[in-house]
Amino acid sequence: MDLTTLIFKTVFLIIILMVTLIVAMYSTYGERKVAAFMQDRRGPNRAGLFGLLQPLADGVKMFMKEEIIPLTANRKLFIIGPSIAMTTALLTGVVIPWGGTLTIGGHEFSLQIADLNIGILYVFAMVSIGVYGIMIGGWASNNKYALLGAIRAASQMISYELAMGMSIIALVLTTGSLSLHDIVAQQHGMHWNIFYQPLGFLIFLTCAFAETNRAPFDLPECETELIGGYHTEYSSMKLGFYLFAEYINMFISSAVVATLYFGGYNMPFIDGLGLSQNTVTLLGTGFFFIKIFSMIFLFMWIRWTLPRFRYDQLMNMGWKGLIPLGIFNILATGIYYFFTELK
Amino acid sequence: MQTLTNRSVVASDKKMTILEWIYIPAIIKGMSITIRHFFRKKTTISYPEQKREFSKVYRGQHVLKRDDEGRERCTACGLCAVACPAEAITMKAAERKPGEEHLYREEKYAEIYEINMLRCIFCGDCEDACPKEAIFLTDRIVESQYKRKPFIYGKDILVEAMDLRIDISARQTEAVYQFKLDKRFAHNK
Amino acid sequence: MILLFYLLSAIMIICALAVVFSKNPINNVIYLIVCFLAMAGHYILLNAQFLAVVHIIVYTGAIMVLFLFVIMLLNLNKAIILRKSTVTRVSAVITGGVFFLVLLAATRQTFEIHARYPFASDFGLVSGIGKVLFSEFLLPFEISSILFISAMVGALMFGKKDV
């Protein structure tokens, strides 16, 4: 790797980090606006124009609040918990292809930080580590509600990871690659994977909701039963980290869904326009972000529509609904390719 | 059982059909409802800039009226305090000294007149009971406070200022006047 | 590279020792998780990205979560751990020693294996592993996958109230 690429990658990494944080920040604002609009209210509109400074005000509030660590809590783990949640949430953005290639001064730069040949699995691994943040934080609080929340989070994650894996296996059967870059490249034009894997998409989406602890699967922080769930004892910016990690996860999983099923940065009908390489790349990145924001909106839309699952319903759906469906999907995809590819 | 509305649905345990079991139609139905609300006109009234239209006879914060020459009308007769169902009104009467004729209309006046706004239920009975046309409810909103003490309004708040007379014509109509003259409804039988 | 190797090895050994010597079960599990993550780092150093990620998913992400889950549910504390009798201690030492011998014997053969399968840089990648799994080791691979499926169906059956 030569020096220019290294510099570009570093700059790009920082940009992606900033974008992730800003999008997550404004997701909180968006969440409140969407919630308000769906309930015939106006939402935050006092801080700045249309309330656009609300996330900053919230951040300042979080930082200024008194920091409380319970006496009976395990101090070290209590602090490590939110850090893990935040770190793993941020780590996933590395493998997502944010755009095609840019040519600056004769050098060609790919708008993807690391093109791992096992990109999907990397995302998957980060998601599975992410649960430790919740588990450790919940246990270290030394509070029964927090512990219950942590336990719920763990069992929910394990259950839905299986079904998520199943849907990904079917997807990999159709694409024939684990690299996110290749998967996006294959969906050029309108060959989006959602048309080839509609059932897999539904399973993946449901699991994505469950893995990000979003409603209707937000049982780990279910306020009607568990006060605040795993973050009952948290206050100040540590609580902020947990809440923020949730929004980062939402952004990243929206990006992953858009990459896997909606063609990533591919734009239909762009080839006929005869634009230069750089324009196409930038337009594609813009279009990718439109897709991501639509997915985030879907996340919020569903949150403010559906009621929360009961715990046994959650487990029933994961184990008896989604996993058999996932196996069926793999079988169907496999049989289809067996008969079409052999000829 | 007779239903009050035609919207009620009797719950049942019957086995769900396949279409119901996969839930997706129901989810889509729910999401279409929420998205319709998304674009609907918002019902919020942004308070300080926008104010809700009050009814003409809205009963808000009280005012102790002065007469045309600026003299306090209240004579501290105590009828309002008797009429008050929430016992929010207290007062202390005093005698008018010579030289104070421009301040008080009659020989007796209220030295202290207090309404506890936390107790007041804004029923308007004090207004009905008043034989001197002195107390009225207005369309002003009682402001919120951080402590309980400021909610006890004294004469400094209740008596209208000379240069800021409060219009109570909406509540002082001819019909109201006739009602007050009718001895059958009088509080002091 | 060499520096990274020694760093990861040091983390692994320290964490492994901490697993053995730490008294708090939750800390044990967390040290084990760090140990596994360092091991995944070793895999990446060997250019076996697939192995590394699968190791993280399966061991760190699933099995250790279950460990932590169970320990949290039981809420084991330092006070609960009982003193073991001498017989148990002696038998534990013997078992451990024998296991160590077996491990030594097994590692002695690795040089031979290394000769049979010379190190290829793309061996740990998806394609390399896939080729080996689906040609040379097809039967064991398929048998173990059937075992996994049946285990999963079995778990489902446990979950059902009325079979």
Whether C84 is covered by a domain: the verdict is yes
Question: Residue C95 — very low, low, confident or very high, per pLDDT cuts 50/70/90?
Answer: very high
Is the pLDDT at C161 greater than 60? The verdict is yes
Amino acid identity at B87: E
Is the pLDDT at C80 greater than 60? The verdict is no
User: Which pLDDT score, from 0 to 100, does residue C121 have?
Assistant: 63
C136 to A204, A206, B16, B76, C121: CA distances (angstroms)? 33, 37, 49, 107, 19
Considering chain C, what percentage of its residues have pLDDT values greater than 90? 6
Is the pLDDT at B125 greater than 90? The verdict is no
**Number of neighbouring beta carbons within 10 Å of residue C65:** 24
Best of C44, C53, C145 to mutate (most A CBs within 10 Å, chain A): C53
Q: Which residues of A150-171 are buried (b: 16+ CB within 10 A; e: fewer)?
A: bbbbbbbbbbbbbbbbbbbbbb
Whether C137 is covered by a domain: the verdict is no
Distance CA A331, CA A77 (A): 43
Do C66 and A158 count as a contact with CB atoms less than 8 A apart?
yes
Do residues A250 and A230 make contact, with C-beta atoms less than 8 angstroms apart? no
Do residues A92 and A126 make contact, with C-beta atoms less than 8 angstroms apart? yes
Question: Residue C147 — very low, low, confident or very high, per pLDDT cuts 50/70/90?
Answer: very high
What's B161's DSSP letter? B
Do C62 and A161 count as a contact with CB atoms less than 8 A apart?
yes
Do residues A136 and A80 make contact, with C-beta atoms less than 8 angstroms apart? yes
The verdict on B32 touching A (C-beta cutoff 8 Å) is no
The verdict on B34 touching A (C-beta cutoff 8 Å) is yes
- For residue A34, give the H/E element and its range: helix A3-38
User: Which pLDDT score, from 0 to 100, does residue C118 have?
Assistant: 60
| pLDDT tens digit sequence for A2-60 | 777 788 788 888 888 888 888 888 888 888 888 888 888 888 888 778 888 888 888 88
In the CATH hierarchy, which top-level class contains the domain B62-188? alpha beta
Range scoring the smallest mean pLDDT among A231-245, A264-278, B53-67: A264-278
Neighbours of chain A (3+ CB pairs under 8 A): B, C
Distance CA A330, CA B4 (A): 52
Whether C42 is covered by a domain: the verdict is yes
When divided into structural domains, chain C yields a total of 1
Task: Give the domain CATH number at C55.
Answer: 1.20.120.1200
What's B109's DSSP letter? E
ipTM metric: 0.76
Do A154 and C65 count as a contact with CB atoms less than 8 A apart?
yes
**pLDDT, mean of residues B134-139:** 87
Following DSSP, what letter does each residue of A242-294 receive, concatenated?
A: HHHHHHHHHHHHHHHHHHHHS-TT--TT-GGG---HHHHHHHHHHHHHHHHHH
- For residue B39, give the H/E element and its range: none
Question: Residue A271 — very low, low, confident or very high, per pLDDT cuts 50/70/90?
Answer: low
| pLDDT tens digit sequence for A121-152 | 888 888 888 888 888 888 888 888 888 888 88
Range scoring the smallest mean pLDDT among A82-96, B45-59, C149-163: C149-163
Q: Do chains C and A touch (3 or more CB pairs under 8 A)?
A: yes
Best of B21, B28, B31, B34 to mutate (most A CBs within 10 Å, chain A): B34
Amino acid identity at C161: K
| pLDDT tens digit sequence for B168-189 | 777 777 777 777 777 676 655 4
Is the pLDDT at A327 greater than 70? The verdict is yes
Do A121 and C54 count as a contact with CB atoms less than 8 A apart?
yes
Domain ranges of chain B: 62-188
Whether C7 is covered by a domain: the verdict is yes
Considering chain A, what percentage of its residues have pLDDT values greater than 70? 97
Point out the residue among B27, B35, B44 whose CB comes nearest to the CB of A306.
Answer: B27
Question: Residue C113 — very low, low, confident or very high, per pLDDT cuts 50/70/90?
Answer: low
Question: Residue C79 — very low, low, confident or very high, per pLDDT cuts 50/70/90?
Answer: low
CB pairs under 8 A between A and C: 79
Q: Which pTM was predicted?
A: 0.78
If one compares C78 and C94, the residue with the highest pLDDT of the two is C94
The token pair that represents A38 in the structure block: 């769906």
Whether C134 is covered by a domain: the verdict is no
The verdict on B50 touching A (C-beta cutoff 8 Å) is no
Best of A84, A95, A120, A124 to mutate (most C CBs within 10 Å, chain C): A124
The token pair that represents B105 in the structure block: 């209309």
Q: Which residues of C124-151 are buried (b: 16+ CB within 10 A; e: fewer)?
A: bbbebbeeeeeeeeeeeeeeeeeeeeee
| pLDDT tens digit sequence for A179-224 | 888 888 887 777 787 877 888 888 888 888 888 888 788 877 777 7
User: Which pLDDT score, from 0 to 100, does residue A125 have?
Assistant: 85
Residue B129 pairs in a beta bridge with none
Do A139 and C53 count as a contact with CB atoms less than 8 A apart?
no
Domain holding C51, by residue range, is: 2-124
**pLDDT, mean of residues C141-159:** 84
Minimum CA–CA partner of B36 in chain A = A38
Distance CA B100, CA B97 (A): 6
Min Cα distance C132 → chain A (Å) is 17
Whether C152 is covered by a domain: the verdict is no
Whether C20 is covered by a domain: the verdict is yes
